[in-house]
Amino acid sequence: MNGANTRRETAFSSTNGYLAACAGIVLLAGGAFLFKTAIGDHGGLPVLVGAIGLLLAGLFFLLGLFMLQPNESAILTLFGKYIGTDRSEGLRWAFPLYVKRRLSLRARNFNAPTLKVNDKRGNPVEISAAVVWRVRDTAQAVFEVDDFERYVAIQAEAALRHLASQYAYDEAEDLSQGETTLRGGMDVVVDALKCELQARFEEAGVQVVDAKLTHLAYAPEIAQVMLRRQQAEAIISARSKIVHGAVSMVESALKGLSERGIVELDDERKAAMVSNLLVVLCSDKETQPIINTGTLYN
């Protein structure tokens, strides 16, 4: 959409409606009094014309009245031409022939339905979000799109689908170290969602107030497989740390024995000691000691 041709909101200053209402009532009362006089013995055609004029003037003032609540606006048009937007509160008055369309400026909430999309690695995931938005430019919202509420719903779903395809669901070996994921980088993902929503809503004059992911999970058909994979990765990671720690402890033990001269070990005894210590340290079950009453070479 060409920004130069986009309709922008123009401020319109309406008149105090209480003064207009008082003027309308006074004119109607004066017109009624003159009309009563005109149809009596003391009246005449000039009085009758004056009475009709006062009555019409009173209706003119009363028909131009309209009410605006807080955080509400009125879009005024005259024979299809946009006049401006009034954001005043209370009882207001404008030219009676102006068509006044009221539009709420309050924040609204859109709950995007749960969508099944593929993440960056092609795995199907389920994702949904809640978007809080409000109308920023009333002219754009009304004149640039056919139905701005439906426009928000469609663009929010499109933004959510695009967002999910830009990130992997969780960390894996094929991802770069420190790469943002849907599950691990929630703050970054939400900020990216807000930016994309604002870019998509701009043409409709809508402002994003807040956005949050409300549901994020693997699709049911692969959820169990991915859970087992995560469990396997967790076990491998834990085992790797245990082995690393055990090797460090064995190295420290051999070094301490050698430096203190407690016992002299040849390569075969060192190998046996290392094997026994690693079994004890790396085993996930309790170990049972075995007392050797002979020698290592028997």
pLDDT tens digits, residue range 229-258?
Answer: 666 666 667 667 767 676 777 677 667 666
Give the lowest-confidence range in 126-135, 139-148, 198-207, 267-276: 267-276
Instruction: Kindly give the interhelix angle for 267-282 and 220-260, rounded to the nearest 10 degrees.
Output: 140
- Alpha carbon 178 to its chain centroid, in Å, reads 24
Residue-wise over 32-71: b if at least 16 C-beta within 10 A, else e?
Answer: eebbebbeeeebeeebeebbeebbebbeebbebbbebeee
Average pLDDT value over all residues in the chain = 82
* pTM for this predicted structure: 0.69
Mean pLDDT calculated for residue range 192-221:
91
Complete domains list, the chain, with CATH: 3-104 (no CATH), 108-218 (3.30.479.30), 233-282 (no CATH)
Question: What span, in angstroms and rounded, lies between the C-alpha atoms of 212 and 189?
Answer: 9
Neighbouring C-beta atoms of residue 293, cutoff 10 Å: 5
Whole-angstrom Cα distance, residue 260 to residue 258? Answer: 6
Burial class (CB in 10 A: 0-12, 13-18, 19+), 287: exposed
The size of the chain, in residues, is 298
pLDDT band at 121 (very low <50, low <70, confident <90, very high): confident
Cα distances (angstroms) measured from residue 138 to each of 82, 91, 154: 11, 20, 19
Per-residue CA distances from 99 to 48, 68, 76 (Å): 32, 14, 5
- What's the confidence (pLDDT) of residue 77? 96
Q: What would the pLDDT profile of 156-176 be if each residue is shown by its tens digit?
A: 999 999 998 888 887 665 555
